[in-house]
Amino acid sequence: MQIEELDTPAVLIDLDVLEGNVRRMAERAAACGVALRPHGKTHKLIEVARLQRDAGARGMTLAKLGEAEAFAAAGFDDIFVAYPVVGALKARRALALARRVRLAVGVDSPEGALTLSAVFAEGGNSLDVLLKVDVGYHRVGVPPEHALETAIRIAELPGLRLRGIFTHAGQGYAAETPTAVQAAGHVEGATLAQTAEELRRAGLAIEVVSVGSTPTAPHAMGMAGVTECRPGNYVYHDASQVSLGTCGLEDCALTVLATVVSTPAPERAVLDAGSKTLSSDPLRPRPGGFGLLLGTRSRLDRLSEEHGVVGVDAADRFRVGQRVRVLPNHSCVVSNLHDRVFAVRGDRVEAVWTLAARGRVQ
Amino acid sequence: MQIEELDTPAVLIDLDVLEGNVRRMAERAAACGVALRPHGKTHKLIEVARLQRDAGARGMTLAKLGEAEAFAAAGFDDIFVAYPVVGALKARRALALARRVRLAVGVDSPEGALTLSAVFAEGGNSLDVLLKVDVGYHRVGVPPEHALETAIRIAELPGLRLRGIFTHAGQGYAAETPTAVQAAGHVEGATLAQTAEELRRAGLAIEVVSVGSTPTAPHAMGMAGVTECRPGNYVYHDASQVSLGTCGLEDCALTVLATVVSTPAPERAVLDAGSKTLSSDPLRPRPGGFGLLLGTRSRLDRLSEEHGVVGVDAADRFRVGQRVRVLPNHSCVVSNLHDRVFAVRGDRVEAVWTLAARGRVQ
């Protein structure tokens, strides 16, 4: 089947670009001597996780137990849920999962870890946990200056084994220049490695020192003391990564094929792809529309659920029925909106992939 | 099952509130003497569409053929796809659907309608179409001053029967005061009715004069000459409708049950509901966070995919493991993110509903 035979909107994954992205990040991790444990949230696809594994990835990262369960069912047996797993229902699911795969989960407070501890200790089980450290994003995680105190309290809980520490330098997505992104990566790696040393001096066996985020990963993983990196977005990239200078347009594997359904005014064209297809996520680091129209100077100025409103650049003309390719602001959230994506090579559709871990919110 | 037994995040639909919303809009439409053809995009649920039908709705509105196919499969036999249906693949699907149900679709240009015309005329079939008129939202649709010229050209196309005109006053969502919302509704109804009269004077048989949008519907449907209204959001409402003055908090049927997973700083708490659960849609008419925490003075200041970051008001305190109810900015997009929702009455879960028309982007 050819791309032109597809109905729209449709999410296309360019296999050549995907394979190059997977290979390059694996090579970078190998060169730095760190384990690559990619975040599967970006693709939510068994097929792409296999490509990553074949290229040398050691295990997977996921955000929710439901995603981990989907990949475990497909044979992935080494999973880190990089998220504070809180509450009795989730603790029991974690226990069931830990019986089938090598599982670790995130914690960032003794209070949050208590239920996990109780559920695992009850049957004499043990769960690997990693403490989240906040190196500047200010979302979850303990500040480095409180890491030791929190780590000691968590390490004392029965049923848990504090195996390492991790962070996510999401602040890299707000960095205005490539130099600032690089600096965020260096701070991420250095701060986490330093924190690990402090914990080890107190007698804690910190084996894993794990950094995240596609923009900062190449920089953070080169810092001494880092043992693992968990980038996710790099498999596809997106318009935000291009804006951040992480990659070029030619490194973007995920695009949306859309159709012009209306040209009601010279300055306005409307696509059949809106927020239900592209999400309302803003462009990073600075807002700038909701997607680039490849091969044109125009971009999506506003979205409603089923409409993408193009601000038509004077150099462009659109006609009703014309097909266009949109580069979304944020590819991870696009994956979550679709039941299937089309894997293409050149103009040919090689496969239709079902998103095994889509919509797993719990 | 009780709500407290549910894992989080979970989308809850309050049945008492839902039933009240469904009844009141039906009564309003009946009092105005207009047909109520609710937009199903908000709920995407067979169960809610049945409630609407039982309350007197005459047919359904949907945005995409894929949604229409899902409701047709469940026995809904009178469907308007309020969207320009463009391209040969979709025209053939429309033909197949029109053989099973009473179907009408939107058009806004002769160019866009050409393929529909060709596909339907080929086998001697006829498709009802409604011309979209732009009464100020400036998305799709012809301006009123060009409606006659466009209508004549579309009416001349074989295989199509121009049965009416429709509009959607989406600009009501940007209205800063309830008075401005009301004015937008009046302009919507009056402009469309006036356009219909102009088309009739030219000999076109305009039977349907259809207005949309929950904020403007109560005002637009009372205008002379309007025959139909297509609100969708009213079944659930949301934080934007509260901000617009369309309803009170007590009229909001859809909430998200979430858990506090981290309290890393006094001014910050983090929920397990982010943009994958709530979407990144902004509050209307003015931006103001990403959801209200019911029973508190706090709101969600920022979202990432799996994290909702609460800006903790000085009057509130949150603890890890605590459950909260979030009122989202935009309920329609929340529906599209979830495979199932929980229908509750008081604290009891009465049913688990599967979203039959979720993710139907084509």
Which pLDDT belongs to residue A225? 98
Interface test with A, best of B67, B168, B261, B324 (most A CBs within 10 A): B261
Considering the four listed CATH numbers 2.40.10.220, 3.40.630.10, 3.20.20.10, 3.40.50.1860, the one that applies to the domain covering A17-234 is 3.20.20.10
Task: Name the H helices within B228-297.
Answer: 239-244, 275-278
What's the CA gap between B82 and A110, in Å, rounded? 53
How do the pLDDT tens digits run along chain B, 362 residues long?
Answer: 999 999 999 999 999 999 999 999 999 999 999 999 999 999 999 999 999 999 999 999 999 999 999 999 999 999 999 999 999 999 999 999 999 999 999 999 999 999 999 999 998 999 999 999 999 999 999 999 999 999 999 999 999 999 999 999 999 999 999 999 999 999 999 999 999 999 999 999 999 999 989 999 999 999 999 999 999 999 999 999 999 999 999 999 999 999 999 999 999 999 999 999 999 999 999 999 999 999 999 999 999 999 999 999 999 999 999 999 999 999 999 999 999 999 999 999 999 999 999 999 99
pLDDT for A302 beyond 90: yes
Name every chain A residue with its beta carbon within 8 A of the beta carbon of B83. 261, 272, 306
What's the CA gap between B148 and B160, in Å, rounded? 16
pLDDT for A123 beyond 90: no
Give the burial string for B55-83 (b: 16+ CB within 10 Å, else e).
bebebbbbbbbbbbbbbbeeebeebbbbb
Question: Which residues neighbour A148 within 8 Å (Cβ) at sequence distance 6 or greater?
Answer: A195, A198, A199, A202
The answer to whether B233 and A55 have CB atoms below 8 angstroms apart is no
What's the CA gap between A272 and A262, in Å, rounded? 9
For residue B93, CA distances in Å to A187, A270, B87 come to: 55, 21, 10
The number of C-beta contacts closer than 8 angstroms across A and B is 167
Radius of gyration of chain A (CA): 21
Residue of chain B minimizing CA distance to A92: B7
Q: Express each pLDDT in A13-48 by its tens digit.
A: 999 999 999 999 999 999 999 999 999 999 999 999
- Furthest-apart CA atoms within chain A: distance in Å: 70
Interface test with B, best of A89, A150, A305 (most B CBs within 10 A): A305
Chain-centroid distance of CA B209 in Å reads 18
Q: What is the pTM of this model?
A: 0.97
The answer to whether B350 and B51 have CB atoms below 8 angstroms apart is no
Tell me whether residues B140 and A332 touch, CB distance under 8 A.
no
Closest in B90, B134, B305 to A333, CB measured: B305
Strand locations in chain A (E): 10-14, 35-36, 60-62, 78-84, 102-107, 127-132, 160-166, 208-212, 228-230, 254-265, 268-271, 292-293, 299-303, 308-311, 323-327, 340-345, 348-354
Mean pLDDT value across chain A = 97
Residue B304 token pair: 């990432």
Question: Which residues neighbour A267 within 8 Å (Cβ) at sequence distance 6 or greater?
Answer: A311, A312
Which pLDDT belongs to residue A219? 95
Which superfamily, per CATH, for B15-235? Alanine racemase (3.20.20.10)
For chain A, residues classed under CATH 2.40.37.20 are 3-10+248-354
Which pLDDT belongs to residue B123? 87
Considering the four listed CATH numbers 1.20.200.10, 3.40.50.720, 3.30.830.10, 2.40.37.20, the one that applies to the domain covering A3-10+248-354 is 2.40.37.20
What's the CA gap between A106 and A139, in Å, rounded? 14
The average pLDDT across A318-332 equals: 98
For chain A, residues classed under CATH 3.20.20.10 are 17-234
What's the CA gap between B338 and B325, in Å, rounded? 17
The three-state secondary structure class of B264 is strand
Give the burial string for A3-34 (b: 16+ CB within 10 Å, else e).
beebbbbbbbbbbebbeebbeebbebbeebeb
The answer to whether A304 and A280 have CB atoms below 8 angstroms apart is no
For chain B, residues classed under CATH 3.20.20.10 are 15-235
Residue of chain A minimizing CA distance to B322: A87
Tell me whether residues B87 and A134 touch, CB distance under 8 A.
no
CA distance A300 to chain B (A): 12
pLDDT for A298 beyond 90: yes
